[in-house]
Structure 1
Amino acid sequence: MESITKPRSDLGVRTLSGIAMMLVATVAILFGGWLFRIFVILVAVGLLREWFRLAWQLSSDGVGRLLWAAGGIVYIGVATANLVALREISEMYLVLTVIGIVIATDTGAYFAGRTFGGPKIAPKISPSKTWSGLAGGMLAAAILASAVGSHFEAFAIWQPLIGAGLAVVAQAGDFFESWMKRRAGVKDSGSLIPGHGGLLDRADGLLAVLFAVAILLAVVHFDAGVWRLS
């Protein structure tokens, strides 16, 4: 009788690599300055490498690949440049808030989706994403944005609205990267992070939010912790 070998769980590897990522990112954010800039540059290079790899699979002609590559340079370039800008204009306040909103979105979506289930948003692109999960992510992000906003200034209705809106953006970024991988016929964007796949797999939602915040900053002026229309 043949023995059946169960596949080894990668939970330990995922946990260790996740902790390592958090430690490196935390140190870079805390120190700021050139250390943070170098960290972001290295991450941007890694993200672009994976994007180009997907772009090569997404199109079979040179023009299509060039357009995908150019789009990636703009998308990733604006998002990562904005990350550095946020760190410099507000020290750690905005950087941690943006990252916190993405984490809150993922956490709220996970627990709401597991608890309530229900219809899928786009099962052919991401089979696990549900409308209840999206609602849970929006609620969690809205609560976090309200809590942070109330700490630095008086509560305003735009705070939860922006939090919920950025949660939708984060989920859209996740869907977009999933769509790219499915169209390219790959499971992960890369294999740089043990147990997690590539950098794009981990930063898809954050990239979308940073890009959206960059657009928001183009029409809204930030001064001493207060948002004002330009």
Structure 2
Amino acid sequence: MSVGVTENINLSLGVNSIILRARPNKDCPRFTDTQELSIKPARYNTDFQRASTPRKTMFYGVYMSQPSQNELDIMRTTAAYETIPEIRLPNNPYSGKLTLGYWTNHEPLNLIAIMHKKQYTEINPYSMEVFHAYREHLANGDKNLMQKSIAFYDFLADEFSKKDIRGNYDYKISALFSEAASRNSVDGIIYPSVRLGGMSFNVALNELAIKKLKLDSVEEATVQQEGNNVSISINAFTKCNNQSTFKLEDVPGKQ
């Protein structure tokens, strides 16, 4: 993919940022191995996904800039909608377990941001802040470069916000861009979560960036959908201390 010279939105996540990565339990009654919550092995990545190609795997997670209790709830909800297709269907009864791994970084993460979807900048103050900072930066430079960069990233924003996916080929453009961008000193991509209407962000980190992360804690949750209402209740928790294995402890009264 080649579009000539454009100005990227470069964003750095500071040390100890929280990235939430989720995995449905499905046939596994309870996870105990840190690797089970980490990056998907490349050999299993056979399709295009929003930010990864069949030739390359990425670590997908959910991020918010200042995770208060309310934002942690939004992060959990985002993780559920991103990983459980069944709850995206209206009036589709569902009940299942979801394991939530909270990762933190011990080095800054250097990301390229896709923040141009106008409706998302109106919903999320962080998107608006990054978007306006980028526009102000461009305004001080070459006018043609500014117009070209804005047009290119407007196009990418549409690609990264596709909601009705007919097949994995619908992810091809965003996936190829992510593969090309996540090289050299770039650790990955950050973009608003289409599944939650831009209220939170997804990050996709390359394999080398995983060395900057450690698993801090794990929750096991029950996700239920009745009608159009989705509930997430935490029934087990543990701190991990960056160990290779962990043991979840049941929350009293939630077994």
TM category (shorter chain) comes to under 0.3
TM-score normalised per structure 2 = 0.24
More strand by share: 2
Higher relative contact order (CA 8 A, sep 6+): 2
